[in-house]
Amino acid sequence: MQNDLRCMFKKVLIFDVVIGITLVILTQWLFRNYSLVVLLGLGIAFINFIANGMITEYALLNKTIKYKIIAFISFITRVVIVCVIALVLFKINKFNVVAYMLGYSLQFISLTLYGII
């Protein structure tokens, strides 16, 4: 893995941890039952981000059709995994999906902060 990619992952992880700590404090205060679900969404988003970065880097360094197919299959697999987790959470409690989506969407704040800084 390239050093710039590692550096980006570390910085985004720091932003995610800060957002996660802030989020746990807020959700424990306001919506106690959903704090773990929000953190799950943020964690899944970060894992998905790392997988996307590594697979994209691998596909760009090896510019053959085989690696483009692998990138497409990994994209579909990651989307299916995120959706399956959302469906399981929905079966438990339909409001869990809202908390999960909130946590997953908060990853974009980290990415935006990384881009600004």
Chain segment 57-70, per-residue pLDDT in tens: 877 777 767 777 88
Distance of alpha carbon 108 from alpha carbon 96, whole angstroms: 20
Nearest of 108, 106, 110 to residue 11 by alpha carbon: 110
Torsions phi, psi for 73 (to 5 deg): -65, -40
0.95 exceeded by pTM: no
What does the pLDDT look like over 5-36, one tens digit per residue?
Answer: 888 889 998 998 998 888 888 877 887 788 88
48: tokens are: 């998905």
Per-residue pLDDT, 44: 93
